[in-house]
Amino acid sequence: MGKEKQLETAEKLIADGKFDKALKIYNKQVAAHPEDMRLKLKLGDLFVRRKEVAQAIATYQEVASSYVSDRFHLKAIAIYKKILNLNPTLIETNENLGDLYREVGLQKDALGQYFIVADHYEQIHDTEKVLDVRMKIVDCDPSAVTSRIRLAEIFQKEGKVEDALREYEHAADDLKSQNDQEGLLEVYERIRYHKPDDLSLAVTLCRLYISRGDVNKAEKQLDSLSPQTKGQTEIKELYIDVYLRLEQRENARRLMQELFESYCEQRQSDAAMRIYGLAREEFEDDEEYIHEFDEVRTRFGITASTPAPAAPVSPVLVPITDEYLEKTTMVRLDDLPPVPESSPQPDERMHPEDLEKTTMVRLSDFPPLDEPSPESPMSPPKESGGIDLDKTVMVKADDLAPPTAPTPKSTTPEKFSGDEATDKLPEDISKKPQKSEELDETVMVDLNEFEEYLKKNKTKT
């Protein structure tokens, strides 16, 4: 009878409850086909039906090992779970299952198995195996600070200081990123036990205590330093801060003066002036004490840093809006004689390209019109507050003073409509083409106000 027929017969026997006969068939087939893991798995299941747990576990172990060797990890996981259902206390199997979980990326499941194993080895005080499993736990979850600290403690207990410090420092980095100051303080204290004169660590630890308001602990940490470390300027500054917070002002006074002179000797001006400012702030009423600081400053030539000069402020140019330009016209200054003798003549409307040669000035820069000056009162000033684009200015007609004597009637039309076609200007103005150099001698006035101005001042052309 062939293999398949034999297996069918064995299954019928198992269904009928005839386990002994079925067992003989399976043993015969396993001996004939030792590489067939399906047969061994069926044999293990039959041992379970016969309540032969030890034989079942042994058979399953053989199958699981074969699957692991062939890298059938998921099949091996299923077999190990079968084994642990029969006996959950099998530590080696728990660890093997944890290794497989980690291999396939099931980190949480792996951690569950590893914790079972670690607890077992800790109970029997097998430190070497505890370390092995604890390192696996940290590898599974590097951000688990508690697990890392536990591993560091075991290293420390075993005298492996370098390994312990490595894990403590990793834990400190994680706690710092989590802003866990309480946990960070605890870890720093453990590190400092092995690095009592680490300046950076001492400073960091003291500042943490000060930030939490535990100044007394900060002072104890400073007091525990070696004399050489206490002589560091950074430690002295911390001592000053602690003394002031604890109202030990005499100690603070003494140390301030000592540190200030040290900074001056080393020509560290900024640091010296920082201490000087603190001394003035804390002991401003003690003139004699501050005078001693000043004497030291003078002796070493220490002065406060000179601030850089402020950047000059650029002038602000006021833009001319289109709305305002609609009410303006352009005339030549040459056509505007002094007011008592003649009146100015309007010229053509201003074009956009002409705006580039105009600017705006303050009327206060002009001399009073009732007091004649060598220059025409309508002429622009020599300086216009830093805003001088060319030689043009903008003024209003009503700012011009009225004439002191009657003048002959002007040939200028009485009204200006604002239309170039209807506004008839004198021949010498309206028909005369404007050159770029002439624009430099022009002024802008309000058209309506200029018309009113001409009405009041009947002058000659």
Question: 375-389 as b/e, with b when 16 or more CB fall inside 10 Å?
Answer: eebbbbeeebeeeee
How much is the pTM? 0.56
* Residue 53 CA: distances (Å) to CA of 46, 48, 59, 200, 219: 10, 6, 10, 61, 65
In the predicted structure, residue 15 carries a pLDDT above the cut 70 = yes
User: pLDDT, tens digit, for every residue of 82-119?
Assistant: 999 999 999 999 999 999 999 999 999 999 999 999 99
3-state secondary structure of 419: coil
Q: What is the pLDDT of residue 137?
A: 95
Split at pLDDT 50, 70, 90, the class of 24 is: confident
Mean pLDDT score of the chain, rounded to an integer?
Answer: 77
CA gap 367, 293 in Å, rounded: 59
3-state secondary structure of 363: helix
Q: What is the pLDDT of residue 36?
A: 87
Task: Name the amino acid, one letter, at 108.
Answer: K
Split at pLDDT 50, 70, 90, the class of 190 is: very high
Lowest-confidence region among 15-29, 146-160, 364-378: 364-378
Helix (H) / strand (E) containing 393 = strand 393-394
Q: What is the pLDDT of residue 343?
A: 45
In the predicted structure, residue 138 carries a pLDDT above the cut 70 = yes
Q: What is the pLDDT of residue 251?
A: 95
In the predicted structure, residue 305 carries a pLDDT above the cut 60 = no
Higher-confidence position of 307 and 294: 294
Q: What is the pLDDT of residue 163?
A: 93
- Residue spans of the domains in the chain: they are 248-300, 322-371+378-415+432-456
In the predicted structure, residue 460 carries a pLDDT above the cut 50 = no
Split at pLDDT 50, 70, 90, the class of 9 is: confident
Residue with tokens 């009162």: 377
In the predicted structure, residue 244 carries a pLDDT above the cut 80 = yes
First to last CA, the chain: 141
Q: What is the pLDDT of residue 351?
A: 54
Q: What is the pLDDT of residue 129?
A: 94
Q: Which two tokens stand for residue 328?
A: 């303006």
Give the angle subtended at the CA of 459 by the CAs of 454 and 461, to the nearest 5°. 100
3-class SS letters over 170-232 = HHHHHHHHCCCHHHHHHHHHHHHHHCCCCHHHHHHHHHHHHHCCCHHHHHHHHHCCCHHHHCC
Higher-confidence position of 174 and 393: 174
Q: What is the pLDDT of residue 17?
A: 81
For the four alpha carbons of 392, 397, 399 and 402, in that order, the dihedral sign comes to positive
Task: Name the amino acid, one letter, at 221.
Answer: Q
In the predicted structure, residue 235 carries a pLDDT above the cut 50 = yes
User: pLDDT, tens digit, for every residue of 204-229?
Assistant: 999 999 998 999 999 998 998 888 88
Span 50-68, average pLDDT: 93
User: pLDDT, tens digit, for every residue of 324-368?
Assistant: 555 556 656 666 666 554 444 444 455 555 555 555 545 455 455
Q: What is the pLDDT of residue 421?
A: 44
Task: Name the amino acid, one letter, at 421.
Answer: A
Q: What is the pLDDT of residue 328?
A: 58
Higher-confidence position of 350 and 196: 196
Split at pLDDT 50, 70, 90, the class of 167 is: very high
In the predicted structure, residue 416 carries a pLDDT above the cut 50 = no
Split at pLDDT 50, 70, 90, the class of 394 is: low
Span 27-32, average pLDDT: 84
In the predicted structure, residue 443 carries a pLDDT above the cut 70 = no
CA gap 91, 252 in Å, rounded: 62
Q: What is the pLDDT of residue 197?
A: 81
Percent of the chain with pLDDT over 90: 48
Q: How many residues does the chain have?
A: 461
Span 394-414, average pLDDT: 48
